């Protein structure tokens, strides 16, 4: 499996509009973060988790030319509002692209992107997709990749993180979450790569903060651990320098193979 972090930033992205803090004005490209999204490839299978407002820029910048399936974590704006740009992939691939998420998330997608499924307002250039409800017990096969949802709390909401499997290899991806209770930690304990929300140093009502994320990543104990959904409180190099061995701060375009 090859993973590409298409985006590693929180909802406002970095730089934040109008912000003159040292991170937002940094010349280090690792401090520029698009909204969070992960691209996973293996053989003929290419999937993306979330289509943020930056999606077009992300796929152009990081050379993504194929998407066979889309998985949505939840319907917050920073995870879905680049969705319409899937239409280029539908056109190029001459296929209807399946989109998966919880029933609540798919209902939200049907409402926010009604023109995609409602023939009375259908646009010729709308993305050709299907919205597919996926329960926590379901597994979806995309070529040689198998995708399993995992329910996690995100403040008052319940959203999905995902486990992606290829043979014996497993990757966990949870970009938005405020806590992981012990049964969920156990679900992730066998992953080879774990990617977890770590918004900032200080606690936040709907996201894990860095100390919580480090503690959970150490409990999970994956050989490779990464944080994501980072805000402008965390300078890239300074944050990396103080993290325990085995936990990495990725940047947009960061790739790994497992
Ligand atoms: Zn988010
Ligand atoms: Zn800033
Ligand atoms: Zn969110």
* Boundaries of every domain in the chain: 2-253
The Å distance, Cα 43 to ligand 3 centre, comes to 31
How many CB atoms lie under 10 A from the CB of residue 96? Answer: 11
What is the rounded CA–CA span in Å between residue 94 and residue 145?
A: 21
Ligand nearest to the CA of 35: 1
The Å distance, Cα 167 to ligand 3 centre, comes to 30
Ligand nearest to the CA of 232: 2
The Å distance, Cα 127 to ligand 3 centre, comes to 23
The Å distance, Cα 221 to ligand 3 centre, comes to 25
The Å distance, Cα 201 to ligand 2 centre, comes to 14
pTM: 0.97
β-pairing verdict for 45-49 and 37-42: antiparallel
The Å distance, Cα 124 to ligand 1 centre, comes to 30
What pairs with residue 172 in β-bridges? 163, 194
The Å distance, Cα 34 to ligand 2 centre, comes to 14
Q: 127: which 2 tokens? A: 């993305």
- Whether omega for the bond prior to residue 91 falls within 30 degrees of 0, making it cis, is no
Which of the four CATH numbers 3.60.15.10, 3.30.43.10, 3.40.50.720, 3.40.50.300 does domain 2-253 have?
3.60.15.10
The Å distance, Cα 94 to ligand 1 centre, comes to 30
- The tens place of each residue's pLDDT in the chain, 258 residues long, gives 999 999 999 999 999 999 999 999 999 999 999 999 999 999 999 999 999 999 999 999 999 999 999 999 999 999 999 999 999 999 999 999 999 999 999 999 999 999 998 878 877 778 999 999 999 999 999 999 999 999 999 999 999 999 999 999 999 999 999 999 999 999 999 999 999 999 999 999 999 999 999 999 999 999 999 999 999 999 999 999 999 999 999 999 999 999
What is the rounded CA–CA span in Å between residue 229 and residue 240?
A: 15
The Å distance, Cα 233 to ligand 2 centre, comes to 7
The Å distance, Cα 205 to ligand 1 centre, comes to 13
Q: Three-class SS string for the chain? A: CEEEEEECECCCCECCCCCCCCCCCCCCHHHCECECEEEEEECCEEEEECCCCCHHHHHHHCCCCCCCEEECCCCCHHHHCCHHHHHHHHHHHCCCEEEEECHHHHHHHHHHCHHHHCHHHCCCCCCCEEEEECCCCCCEEECCEEEEEEEEEECCEEEEEEEEEECCEEEEEECCCCCCCHHHHHHHCCCCEEEEECCCCCCCCCCCCHHHHHHHHHHHCCCEEEEECECCCCCHHHHHHHCCCCEECCCCCCEEEC
């Amino acid at each position: 499996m090859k993973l590409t972090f298409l985006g590693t930033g929180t909802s406002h992205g970095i730089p934040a509009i109008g912000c003159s803090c040292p991170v937002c004005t940094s010349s280090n490209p690792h401090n520029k973060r698009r909204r969070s999204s992960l691209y996973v490839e293996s053989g003929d299978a290419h999937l993306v988790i979330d289509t943020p407002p930056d999606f077009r820029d992300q796929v152009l910048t990081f050379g993504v030319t194929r998407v066979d399936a889309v998985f949505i974590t939840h319907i917050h704006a920073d995870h879905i509002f680049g969705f319409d740009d899937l239409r280029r992939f539908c056109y190029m691939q001459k296929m209807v692209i399946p989109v998966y998420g919880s029933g609540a998330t798919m209902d939200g997608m049907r409402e926010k992107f009604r023109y995609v499924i409602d023939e009375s307002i259908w646009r010729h250039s709308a993305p050709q997709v299907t919205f597919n409800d996926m329960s926590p017990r379901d597994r979806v096969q995309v070529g040689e990749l198998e995708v399993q949802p995992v329910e996690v709390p995100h403040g008052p909401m319940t959203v999905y993180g995902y486990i992606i499997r290829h043979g014996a290899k497993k990757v966990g991806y949870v970009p938005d979450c405020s806590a992981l209770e012990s049964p969920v930690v156990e679900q992730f304990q066998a992953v080879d790569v774990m990617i977890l929300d770590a918004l900032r140093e200080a606690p936040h009502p709907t996201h894990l903060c860095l100390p919580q994320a480090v503690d959970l990543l150490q409990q999970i104990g994956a050989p490779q651990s990464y944080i994501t959904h980072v805000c402008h409180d965390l300078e890239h190099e300074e944050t990396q320098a103080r993290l325990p061995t085995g936990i990495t701060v990725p940047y947009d375009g960061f790739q790994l193979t497992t």
